[in-house]
A and B are shown apart, each in its own frame.
Chain A
Amino acid sequence: MSERPLAGIRVLDFGLLTAGANTSAMLADLGADVIKIESGAYLDPFRVVGKIDSDEGWWNRSPQFRFTNRNKRGLALNLKDPEGQRVIRELAVHCDVVVENFRRGVLDRAGLGYKELSAINPRLVFAAISSQGDTGPERMNVSFGSTLDATSGIASLTGYEGEEPRISGMDVNYPDQIVSLFATGIVIAAVTEARYTGKGAFLDFSQREVASFTLGEEILAASADPAHRFAPRGNSEAGVAQQDAYRCADGRWLAVSLDAPDPSMEAFCASKDRDTAVAMLLDKGIAAAPCLDGNDLLRDTRLQGVTLVRDESGGLVKGLPYRLDGKGLAIERPAPDLGQHTDEVLRELLGYDDARLKELNDSGVTSTTPTIGEV
């Protein structure tokens, strides 16, 4: 009875950075067996972006990579080598889901696109996550995090009143963070459907569309009323009498939403320490909260809920955005070293023997070290 919701589901994970790798991480957290594919010639960029030293094995120590890839097994297979491609096709027979967020066309050129893999395994659910989607004139456009704050419309509603629009920036890259919250649910829907009908699906996700979807009511309002106005709105919100961030006597900021205007709010906050002001406002039934920073979030373990966890080596990793059965995340294994489970998985799923594994390693199809040197 304690079987996890996705026990028995296996995921072939080409997901990189946040949008892709986090979708498969959420599947792993629900009990799926996620095998992450990288190659010595192409690491998950989070291994490189998060580089903290240059000593041997640096590629296995990135905090960002560790945050996003716990509970996965890791394989390193060269996708540009026909032998590597052949191994992937053999693995696809044993998988239920593929997650990928390469630039459009990369897997197709390697003979590993949906067409080829679904011909081998018709039950496969193939989640392709890209900037603009798999079709349309902009399908090949590149984007990076905050590009999509801009092109999705979110930036146009963000900023100080009467000033220029703003993006969430590289320390947030907001549109990258939300796509996996939606894509994971859709993948589970398609897996459920595939179990029922025996047929898989090609799921085409546009990250830009996911971000615009969060402004659905604004787009809808604009369609009915060309006079509907758009501009950065500071911290105000239509329908809320007064809402803003105010500086307190200790120099820290709090946020307040009021049902009726109160011109004295700024002076009230300025006369109190932040925590005192928040407590007094909450007592009066007013929605108020401190504007916390990363250190505040690290310290407040009650507020953290299930969102942060430590793995067996004590490293901080991303937890869950929700809880199931009242519980948070079980870390069953830390993020894999590059190619850590290549031999284990190829033996287990494909029955490869020592000779075959040695052959793949000798020819550079498999590896545990980057072939790219300094990145």
Chain B
Amino acid sequence: MTEASSRPLARFTIIEVNDAKIPLCLRLATSLAAKIAADLGADVLKIEPSGGDPVRRAPPVLPQGGSALFQFLNTSKRSLMLDLASESGRTALTQLVEKADVVLFEEPASIASALRAGKATPVEIAAFPLETDAAQRPVSELAIQALGGLMHMVGEPARKPLKLGGHQASYAAGLTAFTGLMTALAARDAGRRAPPVRVSLAEVMQWVNWKAASGAAASGISPGREGRNSEFQVLPCRDGHVAVVYTVTQWPATRTLIGDARLDDPKFSTRAGRRQNIAELYAALAPWFEDKTRDEIQKVAQAKGVPFGPIFSPAELLLTEQYVARGFLADMTHPTQGRLRLPQLPVQWNGRSFTPRPAPELAP
């Protein structure tokens, strides 16, 4: 799909409001939701505060000085700088929002109450649930991964809990806000009243981490990080690491694949037995990995239907055969940042991808 007019959201107009003094983790969620709509063809106008969206200066920084984070999160948008602390800035925003289908903004924004009352359906990004009444509470990506119980799940039990890499709290909320935004557009398009949407990072994180609550409810004991006692662990191989993952029904194939006589011991034949003897199990598994590359391991494991996961870095993903074959990565020539390669929306729609346009320069 190269023609903007042929994209599915081409007839919708969306305003993304970036106010001053908003925590970074909320900005990323808002911008991701609007970016998805923009790549799908919606006319997305990004309102930036004086000096621009602070994400323009956020790491990782590109060799030409731009922000990779900003470039990724703002593809296919237009941009306009407005000082929302001034009367004229607020008036200009109100006029723009009157003509839009949806307006995205964050709960602590100075203009939030006006945007909730306008004609455009509000999609509001917050840090915490309504019930906590905590619009001004300091917040960060890490704080949300902690509150949502995700950190409790990653790492060694006797050592500190760990966050998942990347901006997972922000991005999971951004994906959610996109679905909320689509719900609003679908309702409007069908001639129905569209419900205002509210997404909080803390709720999304708990929702994603639902097995912690369901596990605790079922047994009284919360699941938690098991580290070297967990069934799935990471083992070193010749050129990196591989995640050892297999289901109960895939255990016999896994045992055959590794082919170590120690694994034939009956104590490993049940899931309970493998869990009770996990250190011994991994001691028997590890040597098989040591002299093989990730590619070799993936090939022979997949041939036996065993879902071991070779660990790739983002740089290696640029060369992944599967991603290249599917055209998942788009090449983009940016007017100031040069040649860039980035993931497209992770969907193929009738076999077509949605090539993004470069993020906008800061325009007063």
Task: List 19 extra interface pairs beyond A192-B189, A292-B146, A307-B206, CB under 8 A.
Answer: A133-B348, A144-B247, A151-B309, A153-B314, A154-B168, A157-B314, A164-B236, A186-B349, A204-B347, A219-B318, A219-B343, A230-B314, A292-B148, A293-B149, A293-B222, A294-B214, A297-B216, A307-B210, A308-B213
Given contacts A5-B186, A230-B313, A243-B142, are A316 and B217 in contact (CB under 8 A)?
yes
Are B153's CB and A195's CB within 8 A? no
A170/B176 in contact, CB under 8 A: no
How far, in angstroms, from A322 to B178 measured CA to CA in the complex? 11
Q: B-side binding surface: helix, strand, loop or mixed?
A: mixed
Kindly specify which of A33-41, A282-290, A334-342 makes contact with the partner chain.
A282-290
User: In chain B, residues 314-352, which have Cβ atoms closer than 8 Å to a Cβ of chain A?
Assistant: 314-318, 321-323, 325-326, 328-329, 337-343, 345-351
Does residue B38 face the partner (Cβ distance < 8 Å to A)?
Answer: no
A165 x B307 contact (CB < 8 A)? no
Annotate A227-260 by CB proximity to B: 1 below 8 A, 0 otherwise.
0101011110111100111110000011111000
Point out the residue from A232, A243, A245, A254 that lies within 8 Å of B165, measured CB to CB: A232
Residues of chain A lying within 8 A (CB to CB) of residue B220:
295
- Tell me which of B87-95, B194-202, B278-286 binds A: B194-202
Q: 7 tightest CB-CB pairs across the interface, nearest first?
A: A157-B165, A150-B309, A305-B129, A294-B216, A294-B222, A185-B179, A223-B341
Task: List the A side residues contacting B209 at CB < 8 Å.
Answer: 172, 177, 297
Give the interface segment out of A71-79, A207-215, A348-356, A364-372. A207-215
Q: How far is the CB of A191 from chain B (nearest CB, A)?
A: 7
- Minimum CB–CB distance for B86 against chain A, Å: 26
CB atoms of A190 and B346 under 8 A apart: no
Selected contact of A226 from candidates B64, B222, B315, CB within 8 Å: B315
Q: Does B183 lie within 8 Å of A306, measured CB to CB?
A: no
Within 8 A of A (CB), among B130-155: 130-132, 137-155
Query: 22 A–B contact pairs at CB < 8 A?
Result: A135-B325, A137-B322, A144-B245, A150-B242, A156-B312, A170-B230, A170-B231, A185-B179, A189-B182, A205-B347, A209-B328, A215-B314, A217-B69, A219-B341, A221-B68, A222-B313, A223-B339, A232-B165, A255-B163, A292-B149, A303-B129, A321-B176
- In the complex, chain A residues whose CB is within 8 Å of the CB of B238: none
From B321, which residue of chain A is reached at the shortest CB distance? A137
C-alpha spacing A238/B61, complex, angstroms: 10
Shortest Cβ distance from A133 into chain B, in angstroms? 6
- Of all chain B residues, the one with the shortest Cβ separation from A231 is B313
CB distance from B223 to the nearest CB of A (A): 4
Q: Are B187 and A5 in contact (CB under 8 A)?
A: yes
Residue of chain A at shortest CB distance from B242: A150
Residue of B nearest to A173 (CB): B211
* Closest Cβ–Cβ distance, residue A71 to chain B (whole Å): 15
| Pair A136/B143 contact, Cβ less than 8 Å | no
Q: A138, A230, A239, A302: which contacts B315 (Cβ < 8 A)?
A: A230
Tell me if A122 counts as interface (CB < 8 A to partner B).
no
Nearest-Cβ distance from residue A29 to partner chain B, whole angstroms: 10
Nearest residue, chain B, Cβ from A133? B326
Contacts of B102 in A (CB 8 A): none
Determine if B197 and A324 form an interchain contact, defined as CB atoms under 8 angstroms apart. Answer: yes
Residues of A within 8 A of B129 (CB): 302-306
A326 at interface, CB cutoff 8 A: yes
Contact A182 B208 (CB under 8 A): no
Q: Is B143 a contact of A287 with CB atoms below 8 Å?
A: yes
CB within 8 Å for A164 and B326 given contacts A147-B309, A290-B147: no
What is the CA–CA distance of A193 and B182 in the complex, to the nearest angstrom? 11
How far does the Cβ of A327 sit from chain B's closest Cβ, in whole Å? 8
Encode contact with A along B284-295: 1 for CB under 8 Å, 0 otherwise.
000000000000
Number of interface residues of B (CB under 8 A): 151
With a cutoff of 8 Å between Cβ atoms, the chain B residues found around residue A292 in the complex are 146-149, 152
Chain B CB within 10 Å — which of A166, A210, A294, A316 has the most? A294
Alpha-carbon separation in the docked complex, A63 to B198 (Å): 28
Contact B208 A297 (CB under 8 A): no
What's the dominant secondary structure at chain A's contact region?
Answer: mixed
B137 to chain A, nearest CB (A): 6
* Contact assessment for A235 and B142 in the assembled complex, using a CB-CB cutoff below 8 Å: yes
Q: How far, in whole Å, are A23 and B88 apart by their CA atoms in the complex?
A: 43
Are the C-beta atoms of A168 and B226 separated by less than 8 Å?
Answer: no
- Residues of A within 8 Å of B204, CB to CB, are 181, 321-322
Contact A216 B343 (CB under 8 A): yes
Which residue among A149, A226, A305 has the maximum number of chain B CB atoms within 10 Å of its CB? A305
CA gap between A177 and B147 in the complex, in Å: 17
Q: Is A55 an interface residue (CB 8 A)?
A: no
Contacts of A344 in B (CB 8 A): none
Least CB separation from B212: chain A residue: A294
Counting chain B CB atoms within 10 Å of each CB, the highest count among A188, A240, A244 belongs to A188
Given A136-B325, A181-B175, A247 contacting B208 (CB threshold 8 A):
no
Q: Which of A190, A233, A293, A303 contacts B8 (CB 8 A)?
A: A190
Q: Is the CB of A147 within 8 A of B186?
A: no
- In the complex, A119 has a CB within 8 A of chain B: no
Interface residues of B in 246-290 (CB under 8 A from A): 246-247, 250
**Contact: A255 with B8, CB < 8 Å?**
no
Could you tell me if B213 and A298 are in contact, using CB atoms closer than 8 angstroms?
yes
**Is the CB of B111 closer than 8 A to any CB of chain A?**
no
CB nearest neighbor in A for B151: A291
